[in-house]
């Protein structure tokens, strides 16, 4: 298959492309990425001479960037997005533009190019905050609570509409929280690893008891590949690891593995409207495709930490001046307030 991957220079896209180019050489991968702050060409620089890989810098919102690369492809795996909730709270406009408008534009061109599969990579956040014991199912109503989640929900609906109206061969892969190598250090796990390595305070929102289902990136990529080969068109598939942990549990595990003191944990003012718990029911993909995550949380965390330790330069380059500016803008006022005590 000739596969167009959007957003391949970001976190999950990088893991997906590396898996495909290195382990599935029968496919040809074309990567289209705008290289926003979250995209990094170093991630894939060792693949440039592979005959089954090509890279184009381009914006999914620009027809003249999309048309030349989508013509003649068999499938699209669409990762490209603005992906960070805190940034969406600071400024929602880029999320509406890339995640909603960009997805629609890509759908239109993919339909014209008569692709045979279109995988849209969505998020468990579309379901909003769930009470303990409740799981987001594929047919649960969308109930997003922040601009990022709202933009992902909107584009899920657009992807479904293309199927419903035009029988367009789309599939939604709805992932839970992913972690692993190459994740930009604004997200919880790499941020904690990066700060802990330097004995810097670890900002923890609110009481730190927000729950996420942690899915190792490798496992997410294998699920997406299975969906590309065998998923039913017009369907949504939840992809989760049944690995629910509070943020505090995650942070304490990282501190233990890095041999750093828990006193680095610093409670800061919570994110406004912070969803308490996300959790998907991945039963459908387990039943239909026999997909199961292969990586236990502890093992995935060790692999992730090992990767960041072996790639200290990547981490340093990524935490450039623009990262520092953003980090300051987000956390400087929050550190100033009285820390919230955790409830156990
Ligand atoms: N990371 C997670 O935990 C998670 C969980 C569920 C779903 N998702 C979804 O998976 C996808 C990938 O997430 P990620 O964490 O790898 O994101 P990321 O922010 O690390 O990477 C996004 C990539 O998209 C590129 N991009 C952004 N705007 C673009 C545009 N207009 N045109 C072309 N490229 C553009 C960026 O340059 C970057 O390389 C996203 O759609 C996200 O919503 C992520």
pLDDT at residue 329 in the model: 80
Say how many Å lie between the CA of residue 13 and the centre of ligand 1. Answer: 7
**Number of C-beta neighbours around residue 250 at 10 A:** 20
- Whether the pLDDT of residue 335 is over 80: the answer is no
CA nearest 237: which of 163, 107, 149, 137?
A: 137
Say how many Å lie between the CA of residue 79 and the centre of ligand 1. Answer: 5
Distance from C-alpha of 269 to C-alpha of 192, rounded to nearest angstrom: 17
Q: Could you report the per-residue pLDDT of 20-58, keeping only the tens digit for each?
A: 999 999 999 999 999 999 999 999 999 999 999 999 999
Distance from C-alpha of 72 to C-alpha of 61, rounded to nearest angstrom: 19
- Whether the pLDDT of residue 312 is over 70: the answer is yes
Nearest CA residue ID for atom 43, ligand 1:
83
pLDDT at residue 16 in the model: 99
Q: Could you report the per-residue pLDDT of 170-213, keeping only the tens digit for each?
A: 999 999 999 999 999 999 999 999 999 999 999 999 999 999 99
Q: Which residues line ligand 1 (CB under 6 A)?
A: 6-7, 9-13, 33-36, 38-39, 59-61, 79-83, 98, 102, 121, 123, 152, 175, 177-178, 184
290 φ/ψ sector (left φ>0, alpha ψ -120 to 50, else beta): left
Token representation of residue 86? 């805190």
100 φ/ψ sector (left φ>0, alpha ψ -120 to 50, else beta): alpha
Q: Could you report the per-residue pLDDT of 44-100, keeping only the tens digit for each?
A: 999 999 999 999 999 999 999 999 999 999 999 999 999 999 999 999 999 999 999
Ordered structural domains, the chain, with CATH:
2-180+215-239 (3.40.50.720), 188-211+245-273+296-336 (3.90.25.10)
pLDDT at residue 321 in the model: 63
Distance from C-alpha of 203 to C-alpha of 188, rounded to nearest angstrom: 9
Q: Yes or no: say if 185 and 314 are a contact pair by the CB < 8 Å rule.
A: no
**CA separation (Å) from 234 to 59, 81, 107, 151, 239?**
26, 21, 13, 19, 16
DSSP state of 9: T
Q: Could you report the per-residue pLDDT of 283-292, keeping only the tens digit for each?
A: 999 999 999 9
Distance from C-alpha of 180 to C-alpha of 156, rounded to nearest angstrom: 25
- Whether the pLDDT of residue 326 is over 80: the answer is no
Question: Pairing state of beta strands 53-57 and 211-216?
Answer: unpaired
pTM of the model: 0.95
Q: Yes or no: say if 67 and 44 are a contact pair by the CB < 8 Å rule.
A: no
């Amino acid at each position: 298959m000739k596969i167009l991957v959007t957003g391949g220079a970001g976190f999950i896209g990088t893991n997906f492309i590396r898996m495909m180019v290195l382990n599935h050489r029968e496919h040809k991968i074309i990567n289209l990425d705008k290289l926003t702050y979250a995209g990094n060409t170093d991630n894939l620089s060792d693949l440039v001479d592979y005959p089954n890989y090509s890279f184009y810098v381009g914006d999914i919102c620009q027809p003249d960037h999309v048309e030349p690369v989508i013509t003649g492809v068999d499938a699209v795996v669409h990762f490209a997005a603005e992906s960070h909730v805190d940034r969406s709270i600071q400024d929602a406009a880029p999320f509406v533009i890339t995640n909603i408008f960009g997805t629609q534009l890509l759908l239109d061109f993919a339909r014209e190019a008569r692709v045979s599969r279109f995988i849209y990579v969505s998020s468990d956040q579309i379901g909003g905050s769930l009470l303990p014991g409740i799981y987001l199912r594929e047919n649960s109503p969308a109930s997003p609570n922040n601009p990022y989640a709202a933009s992902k929900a909107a584009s899920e609906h657009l992807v479904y509409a293309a199927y419903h109206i035009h029988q367009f061969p789309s599939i939604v892969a709805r992932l839970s929280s992913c972690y692993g190598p190459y994740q930009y250090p604004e997200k919880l796990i790499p941020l904690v690893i990066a700060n802990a390595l330097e004995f810097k305070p670890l900002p923890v929102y609110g009481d730190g008891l927000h729950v996420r289902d942690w899915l190792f990136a490798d496992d997410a990529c294998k699920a997406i590949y299975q969906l590309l080969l065998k998923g039913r068109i017009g369907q949504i598939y939840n992809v989760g690891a049944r690995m629910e942990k509070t943020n505090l549990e995650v942070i304490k595990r990282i501190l233990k593995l890095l041999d750093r003191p828990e006193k680095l944990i610093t409670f800061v003012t919570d994110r406004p409207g912070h969803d308490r718990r996300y959790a998907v029911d991945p039963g459908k993909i387990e039943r239909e495709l026999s997909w199961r995550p292969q990586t236990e949380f502890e093992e995935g965390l060790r692999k992730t930490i090992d990767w960041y330790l072996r790639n200290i330069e990547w981490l340093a380059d990524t935490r450039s001046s623009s990262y520092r500016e953003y980090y300051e803008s987000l956390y400087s006022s929050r550190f100033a307030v009285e820390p919230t005590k955790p409830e156990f």
